[in-house]
Structure 1
Amino acid sequence: MSSSSKRKTEPAHYLLKIESFSLLAEARSMKIESDVFEASGHKWRLELYPNGNGEESGGNNISLYLVICDPESFPNGWEVCVDVSFFVYDHESHRYAIFQDINGDGNRTRFNESKKMWGFDKLISLESFKEVENGYLFNDACVFGVEVFAVSEYAQNDRCLSFVKPPAANNTYTWRIDNFSDVTEEIICSDVFKIGNVKWKLSLYPKGNNAYRAHALTFFKTTFASSLY
């Protein structure tokens, strides 16, 4: 099950653009695999089923999954815990619809030896996807995306959680926002900055995002990716 909201900024980690969706949809058993990409220290790919993934999707929904691609290098009993968000571009509003799991720990997902793929059998219905006013399909083209942020890793052989070591004190970035009470935008973003060998960008929702709207600030840090669309 998923929840959907929208934002202007593109997904930080990967975009999959499809030029001729109708041709792919004609092949009922078609599965599209993206290129392998890196995010949060691991290699991943997207698997998209334009007509759904068999009986699980009901045959009338688009299925989308994230697959971890480098498990052979992990120790026995490995587990990777990540926050996953899927995206579909809305050409009408020029925003990205966000799809996240609303069960369990929000959009937190655990990959392990028995679970190397995760996603939605019913990401979005084909009827809704093809509706012109929804903007997902424009001139037979569409764009899907994903963000994958690491939470923790677990290896059975050492019985511990491993986290990224905090950066040195001089590897910091200060973002100053003047006249904060006058900000009217739904989301504001910092300049791109570099810490170590990675480029980052900060995003702030002054009035909150999703379930926290109007109750709390919502703050994200993302790796910076150049535009693919």
Structure 2
Amino acid sequence: MAGDASSLAELRSLEQVENRSLSTSPPYWDSDDDGGPKPSDLYGKYTWKIDKFSQIDNRELRSNAFEVGGYKWYILIYPRGCDVCNHLSLFLCVANHDKLLPGWSHFAQFTIAIVNKDPKKSKYSDTVHRFWKKEHDWGWKKFMELSKVLDGFIDADTLIIKAEVQVIRERADRPFRTLDCQYRRELITVYLTNVAHIFRLFVEERRTKLGKLLEDKARWSSFCAFWLGMDQSSRHRMSREKSESIMKVVVKQFFIEKEVTSTLVMDTLYSGLKALEGQNKDKMSKGKYLEAEDLPIPIVGMEKDTFILVDDVLLLLERAAMEPLPPNDMDGTVGEDFKKDSIERNERRLTELGRKTIEIFVFNHIFSKIEVAYQEDVVLKKQEELIHEEEAANRANIQRRS
């Protein structure tokens, strides 16, 4: 059984979870053109009511089995703690793990909540885990202090536990959709700042590196001479790259299996990639993807299965290093101030952050290839200079001897 998993416990309005209205997400957030089952088909909820809670003497209790994503699960609770004192312990478990085929694994994100009479005080915890033979249960040994359980969580001697389970369908070749749209919206209210920070940190690090090249006047001048001295066909060839080879690296970079934010990161990158593809497919309908006045001029384009730089690398490098990121004014308000339009606004901004991250990632990938060629050219020229100097020295020695 798992120990204390890395998690972030949050207080969220229960009404926010229960009011699962039809999605009004902006374009791309509800799209999913990958084959196989959709995240909405792999998502489910379960409510467990434990009556006469004060009379329970059992060390552990198991809920009935429930099915999500084609797999059977149950909730395991230790009313007086599992290997810890003064805490209630909670775990999600694979129900029939001993009957599954060798090598099985279920990868899932899940949220478990203990319901309070005051919905705003309900206790939520989220985590993500790959369930397998030796780790077929996962959760929290210290989910809640026992002293706090009596503070509104037991009503008429009944404890109510709710679970949301999202089985994740993975891909290694490109960003993929991970979350049911309403579950995603719930998680956005909690992890919005964390997800935005991940993208901003990545983009800023890459921009800083590009900026250093621009600031080094001698190196920048040398690079410009190298690039302008290259024939047109070579520049054309080096300004493009197969999308599959880049997208594999994107997934490897951003999908960190044990990070609870990785699912939202993947959903954001998926939406950002779709926005980038849509931006290239039909510029005339740009208003349907993002607000027209907010739509930036692209740095990267797509031709079938290939990413291309839309302009000369020297011009694009300056833009990539200097263009501002989307404004950092995302509204993560919850509770009574929680509005659906704020979520839609946040999804639009995340889409633009995802698009910008994909764009900078692609540009950096292509530019790195060009930079390697430049460095090889510099080394080759230095070698040629050394050879010429050595030949000149040899000729001078011969002349002196004669």
Same fold per superposition (TM over 0.5): yes
The CA deviation string for residues 116-140 of structure 1, in whole angstroms up to 9 with x for no partner, is 1111111100011112xxx211222
TM-score (normalised: structure 1): 0.60
Kindly state the Cα deviation for residue 12 of structure 1 after the two structures are TM-superposed.
Answer: 4.4
Pick from 5, 10, 13 the counterpart of residue 4 of structure 1: 10
Count of residue correspondences: 162
**1:205–1:42 Cα change, 3 Å:** closer
| Percentage identity across paired residues of the two chains | 21
Which SS does the other structure have where 1:52 is aligned? coil
Runs ≥4 in structure 1, deviation > 6 angstroms? none
Give the corresponding residue for 2:205.
none
User: Counterpart amino acid of 1:36?
Assistant: A
Give the corresponding residue for 2:380.
none
Give the corresponding residue for 1:128.
148
* Structure 1: stretches of 5+ with no match in the other structure: 101-106, 154-159, 167-199, 220-229
* Contact kept in structure 2, 1:204 and 1:217, CA below 8 Å: no
Question: What is the 5 A alignment of 1:1-229?
Answer: 1-2=6-7, 3-7=9-13, 8=15, 9-10=17-18, 12-24=44-56, 27=57, 29-53=58-82, 56-57=83-84, 59-93=85-119, 96-100=122-126, 107-131=127-151, 135-152=152-169, 202=182, 205=185, 208-212=188-192, 214=331, 216-217=346-347
**1:203–1:64 Cα change, 3 Å:** closer
**1:60–1:205 Cα change, 3 Å:** same
For residues 149 and 204 of structure 1, what CA distance do their matches in structure 2 show? 10
* Structure 2: stretches of 5+ with no match in the other structure: 1-5, 19-42, 194-330, 333-345, 351-402
**1:204–1:152 Cα change, 3 Å:** closer
Q: Give the number of the structure whose alpha-carbon radius of gyration is greater.
A: 2
For residues 75 and 41 of structure 1, what CA distance do their matches in structure 2 show? 15
For residues 114 and 189 of structure 2, what CA distance do their matches in structure 1 show? 18
**1:40–1:51 Cα change, 3 Å:** same
Kindly state the Cα deviation for residue 93 of structure 1 after the two structures are TM-superposed.
Answer: 3.1
Which SS does the other structure have where 2:80 is aligned? coil
Kindly state the Cα deviation for residue 203 of structure 1 after the two structures are TM-superposed.
Answer: 6.1
Q: State the Cα RMSD in Å.
A: 3.3
Which SS does the other structure have where 1:66 is aligned? strand
User: Counterpart amino acid of 1:139?
Assistant: A
- The one of the two structures with greater contact order (alpha-carbon pairs below 8 A, sep at least 6) is 1
**1:71–1:211 Cα change, 3 Å:** same
TM-score (normalised: structure 2): 0.36
